[in-house]
Structures are given as C-alpha cells and as structure tokens.
C-alpha cells in the first residue's frame, strides 16, 4: 500500500533552472513562450518568446521572430531577433532578418543579412510593445 504525504508542498517554479530542449529531429509548428532557458537543436516554425536565454545550436533552425533576454546562435534563423541584453553569433550562425539588441558579439564566419539597431532603439521597441511611450531626453 502506498502512502502519500499530503502536507508536502510542490516545489516553486524557478525560471533560472528551467531548461527546455527541442532536440535534433524534432519539428515544432507554432509559437513558443517560455519563462526559462530554451535550447533549440531541431526546427521551430513560429515565434519564440523567452524571458531568459535562447540557444540555437548548430543543427537548430528557427523560422520566425525571436524575442529573448539573451541569445546565443550557432544555427539558422529566418526572422527578426530582439534581445534585451546580449546576442552572441557563433561562427556557424546564419541570420536572415533584422536585429534589435542591447549588445552584440559576432564570431568570424557568422552570416548576418539585415539591419542591426542597438540600445536606445531597443528601449523604444520594448516601450512600443508594452503600449507606453519611451521617454526621450527632450521630454524630460
């Protein structure tokens, strides 16, 4: 006979230890939203919204826009990428879309086809998405 301890509370969700993995050979069609880290080694066709870190591995491919706090890309992205902190493009990365980033690091060999906007433009974009006006130095 099994005995269950009903006084034990479930563990609280901690986005810092939550890791979602889409492995090689897996294809997901649809938008993904995640509080924790995400690693893509397969294919995602749809938007990816992550409040933490996104890693697109060598075999990973995303056909859709990416919004994340941090990102490391080694694979292929066909879509726009918006990263509030830092974007690291590894030497095998292939990006076909526009970037809005806080910081960007590009290794030799990475391919990027699009425009790149940094910092102040990012603040404006985030404010626009949140439905509020970004304050500019003239407004203060």
54 beta partners: 38, 71
Model confidence band, residue 138 (pLDDT cutoffs 50, 70, 90):
very low
* pTM score of the predicted model: 0.74
Q: What is the mean pLDDT of residues 107-111?
A: 97
Where b means 16+ CB within 10 Å and e means fewer, 29-58 reads eeebebebbbbbbbbbeebbbbebbbbbbe
* Domain ranges across the chain: 19-132
User: Which region holds residue 30: left if phi is over 0, alpha if psi is between -120 and 50, else beta?
Assistant: left
Is-contact 138 120, C-beta < 8 A? no
Tell me the percentage of the chain whose pLDDT exceeds 90: 70
Neighbours of 74 (CB within 10 A): 21
Q: How many CB atoms lie within 10 A of CB 101?
A: 21
**Average pLDDT for 25-30:** 95
Q: Quickly state the pLDDT bin for 19 (edges 50, 70, 90).
A: confident
Beta-carbon contacts of 125 under 8 Å, excluding residues fewer than 6 positions away, are 82, 100, 117
pLDDT at 6: 47
């Amino acid at each position: 006979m099994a005995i269950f301890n009903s006084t034990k509370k479930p563990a609280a969700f901690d986005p810092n230890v939550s890791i979602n993995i889409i492995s090689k050979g897996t294809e997901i069609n649809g938008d993904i939203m995640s509080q924790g880290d995400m690693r893509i080694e397969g294919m995602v066709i749809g938007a990816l919204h992550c409040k933490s870190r996104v890693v697109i591995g060598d075999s990973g491919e995303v056909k859709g826009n990416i919004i994340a706090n941090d990102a490391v890309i080694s694979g292929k992205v066909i879509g726009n990428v918006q990263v509030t902190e830092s974007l690291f493009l590894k030497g095998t990365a292939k990006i076909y879309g526009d970037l809005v980033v806080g910081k960007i690091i590009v290794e030799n060999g990475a391919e990027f086809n699009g425009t790149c906007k940094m910092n102040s433009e990012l603040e404006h974009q985030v404010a626009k998405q949140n439905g509020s006006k970004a304050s500019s130095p003239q407004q203060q």
